[in-house]
Chain A
C-alpha cells in the first residue's frame, strides 16, 4: 500500500503544508480535506513542501487547481516548493510553472510571504 500524509504548521504569515508519500486518486481526498480546512479557517498563504512526495497523478494535480482561485481571490497564494524531479516533470507537462510559483525549497517560498 502506498501511503500519503499531509501535515500542516504555521510559519510566520504562511502555512506550510508538507506532503509525504503517494498522491493519487485514492489519496487526493485527504489533500482536498486539508485545503478545505485551511479555507474554512481563512488561511490563504500556503507553501506546499513536496520534499517527501514520491508520486503524483492528475487526481493530485486537480486538487491544486481546485483551490487556487479561492486562495488568490482572498489575496493569498499557493506556492510550491522542494519537488523531486519526477514530480516536477508531471507539473511541467501540464503547464503548471506558468500558473504557479515553484521554488527550490520551502524557505525561499516562505520568504515571499514573510517579506510582504
Chain B
C-alpha cells in the first residue's frame, strides 16, 4: 500500500457523545484517502472513537460546555492522530488490563476502550502538556493486514 501523501488537519469538537459521529467521519475520510484499506480504516476510526469517548466521559466528566481537538498528522507510512483535551489528567498505568471474565462479573466495561486502542493501533501514548492532556495514536501503512 502506498500513502497518498501528507495530511495535516485538525478539528475541534464539543465534548458530548453526540460529537462522536463527526469524529468518526473526520478520521474515516482521512485514513481512507491516506491509503488504508476498509478494515484498517474501521480499526483506526474505532480507536479514535474510544480515545474521544474517554475524554468526554472521564477528562470532562460529561460536561458538554468543553471542547477537545482531534489532529491528524500523516506522512510516509505513519498515520498519527492526536486527541487533546484540557480536562482532568489521565493515568493509563492506573487502568488495569481487563480480565474479560472478571469484568463480566463486575458488570464493568471500563478499561475496554484502552484495551481496544492498544490492540488496534501500533502506538498509544499519553502525555500531559501544559494544562492539556494528549493521547497519540499511530498506525503504519504496511503491506500485510494487522489481525
Contact = CB atoms under 8 A, between A and B. Distances in A.
B26 interface: no
B105 A69 contact: yes
Chain B's interface size range is: 20 to 34
A65 B109 contact: yes
A62 B53 CA distance: 13
Contacts of B43: 89
Contacts of A90: 46, 116
Interface string B86-111: 00000000000000110111011100
Interface string A50-93: 00000101110111011011000000000000000010011001
Interface string A1-33: 110000000000000000000101110000000
A99 interface: yes
Interface string B103-126: 111011100110110011000000
A58 B113 contact: yes
Nearest to A87: B42
B40 to A, nearest CB: 11
Contacts of A59: 53, 109, 113
Interface string B24-60: 1000000000000011001100100110010011000
A94 interface: yes
B39 A65 contact: no
Contacts of A61: 109, 112
A57 B17 contact: no
Contact of A25 (B38, B42, B57, B120): B57
22 contacts: A24-B17, A24-B49, A24-B53, A25-B17, A25-B53, A26-B18, A26-B20, A26-B21, A57-B50, A62-B108, A62-B109, A65-B103, A66-B109, A69-B107, A89-B42, A90-B46, A90-B116, A93-B120, A94-B112, A96-B100, A99-B100, A99-B101
Interface of B: 17-18, 20-21, 24, 38-39, 42-43, 46, 49-50, 53, 56-57, 100-101, 103-105, 107-109, 112-113, 115-116, 119-120
Given A66-B107, A94-B112, 14 more contacts: A2-B21, A24-B17, A26-B17, A26-B18, A55-B46, A57-B46, A58-B53, A58-B116, A59-B109, A65-B109, A68-B104, A69-B104, A89-B43, A94-B100
